[in-house]
Structure 1
């Protein structure tokens, strides 16, 4: 399989689907138990051109539209949510550099990010405030023309293999973004073991102690990152998580249809029981509804419509909660087998819960979506 660049959307998805079926899904349990992804699969993502395929062809991307990107992330999550998470955060960093980077920054980082030669991570969350940017405790202070950064970031997806950190830090009253090489003096990376879900995403704690970077590390205008770089990247991440949740529902559906078609109970098959069919029908309906919500958000993003922001919130809310419901039913359908490491639904159950927390918790989404409804009526 060659890169997706130059292919029509249907051909792109067929290529990705084949990749997931042959090189991802069969190994997802192994990667989950090992709590890491092999370098070989990360390299294959680069060979296929999937790290940042939405970037323009002129800079080395594939110029893919958002709807196709969403379907790619759905397919990858169908096989392994940990790998999809890696695509998400790396894509967020690549988007930020492509959108806000200077010529020097883009020349230095974009070719490597697009090919996957350098892995980028989104360093926002902190131990005492999560992703609440208003409470961010990381500080960056000027020292001549340099910046000195001190802080502690946590739950950083891909942090164990990071080459480039997109670090958000306070610079006076505002928030700024910095491109920090992971091998900079003062950067300490510690793996986070025994995650409940997306275990193979290689999450890490990252401490920055007097990390010195030059002026070229500042991404975008000083003090301006909260409403621009951070918001734009999080919108992309939220969309990816929504699409990834669709992939989890589809994986649960596929697993349950296969299992109930083979499993015998009393004088028939498990698939013949009405309560089983109710659960299957719920999965079918939810996966189609969630996919349509994601496609709607993707089309709005492609057209530059600001309504995409709320559409992504709605898509992520529905898809993530539906993924939890599907995974819960999938484990129930599998019975004791669903609690074992021998069937993928146990992993899907753990992964689905993470979807309700990352890129905006379910409760935050409920509050935001309801507030928008009141605003529209007013």
Structure 2
């Protein structure tokens, strides 16, 4: 049984402080682990809860509705455990999954580089054979919880193609540079990480060279999009609730804000966006649970719609709350900043639109061929 009430209550009280100070504290990470957050959809044999996509999505939405940093912690752990569970060796699963699920080690996902954002085929980090294993040379940017991570799943390039590897951050040559003051995700303890000839034993590669992007990273990114989608719809719901509460009690002179037709129109628009995104997230969960061939596209669509809903509804909420929405400690202002970042990571809007457009064309040509 997953009970997030303690964690949610803590976030409701302290999330603004985490956002403005040094980020999500270590003790909160440990609490999340004790409550089972890191093993929601992982097998019980490794200490997970063995729950399905629906339960995972609901947890991401609940955490996303109070603190993006907490939802991001769920996401980054999930992308790494999903990749290890799907593509790791039996020894890697036995070694890493229990530690990550129990919170004994914090995970990070290191893919983005100065010249490789949406196009991960352009990564330049090298993971090359060396004495006794491999050597890692390169630099990764914007690693969520990179400041706290004990191990990173790193996407790089080997002589035989893209490769993914598990790199402990206490290895000589790993240099962690904290990032602060960015637009959003300020509680996520972001970091840039450099790898200066880092030695890796041979057993740290996850899947053979050539499978790093098409298999390992794609599995991780798909899992990430799913929880980001649910986290975004949780944000959007929270912003709609704050907006509704404000206009229901706020007055301009003798007139309640809710009496303005334009205000009710914005509430209606926001409600439609939230409900539409929520329905698409539920559909994505059903597709994943049934292992439908359309599950990946359903997740892309859900993430796209939920990210746009979070950005749009948070903007409407800030506008409706006025000075209250812009004041220090405003949840809608924090979500407004976070939502903009959510439209960029785990598949930028523009990339998703191309993918969805290609899907529409493929479906059209397929149905046309069936008719002919």
Runs of 4+, deviation exceeding 2 Å: 18-21
Task: Give the equivalent residue in structure 1 for 2:252.
Answer: 265
Q: How far apart in 2 are the matches of 1:272 and 1:30?
A: 35
- Once the two structures are TM-superposed, the CA of residue 173 in structure 1 deviates from its matched residue by 4.1
**Residue number in structure 1 paired with 2:355:** 368
Q: 1:177 aligns with which of 159, 164, 169?
A: 164
Task: Tell me the equivalent position of 2:370.
Answer: none
After the TM superposition, which residues 1-378 of structure 1 pair with which residues of structure 2 at under 5 Å, given as runs? 7=1, 12=2, 15-16=3-4, 18-378=5-365
Deviation at 1:343, TM superposition (A): 2.1
In structure 1, distance between residues paired with 2:72 and 2:180 = 16
**Matches of 1:171 and 1:304, distance apart in 2:** 32
The TM-score, its normalising length taken from structure 1, stands at 0.94
What SS does structure 1 have at the residue aligned with 2:182?
coil
Matched with 1:3 is none
Rounded to whole Å, the distance in 1 between the matches of 2:6 and 2:338 is: 21
Number of corresponding residues: 365
In structure 2, C-alpha distance between the alignment counterparts of 1:102 and 1:374, rounded to whole Å = 38
Instruction: Tell me how far apart the structure 2 counterparts of residues 188 and 22 of structure 1 sit (CA, whole Å).
Output: 35
Q: State the Cα distance separating 1:172 from its structure 2 match.
A: 1.4
Deviation at 1:22, TM superposition (A): 1.3
Counterpart CA distance in 2 for 1:327 and 1:375 is 34
Deviates more, 1:325-334 or 1:108-117: 108-117
1:139-178: CA deviation from partner (whole Å, max 9, x where unpaired): 1111244100101000100000000110111111411111
Structure-2 change in CA distance of 1:110 and 1:124 (3 Å)? same
Q: Distance in 2 between matches of 1:112 and 1:139?
A: 27
CA deviation after TM superposition for structure 1 residue 228, in Å: 0.8
Alignment gaps of 5+ in structure 1:
1-6
Report the more deviating stretch, 174-183 or 301-310. Answer: 301-310
Shift of 1:55: 0.6
Q: Which residue of 2 aligns with 1:4?
A: none
Deviations 1:34-87 (A, max 9, x none): 140112211111111011210111221001101110110010010001221121
Give yes or no for contact 1:242–1:317 (8 Å, CA) kept in 2.
yes
CA RMSD of aligned residues (A): 1.3
The normalised TM-score by structure 2 is 0.95
Q: Secondary structure at the match of 2:15?
A: helix
Does the CA-based 8 Å contact 2:40-2:55 persist in structure 1? no
Aligned to 2:368: none
Gaps of 5+ in 2: 366-372
In structure 1, the residue matched to 2:369 is none
| In 2: Cα distance, 1:344 partner to 1:258 partner | 13
Q: Does structure 1 retain, via aligned residues, the 8 Å contact 2:39–2:47?
A: no
Change (3 A) 1:136 1:319: same
Pick closer, same or farther for the CA change 1:173–1:220 going to 2, 3 Å: closer
Q: Give a deviation string over 1:185-221, Cα, whole Å, max 9, x none.
A: 1000001110101110011000000000111111112
Is 1:125–1:132's contact at 8 Å kept on the other side of the alignment?
no
Counterpart CA distance in 1 for 2:320 and 2:60 is 26
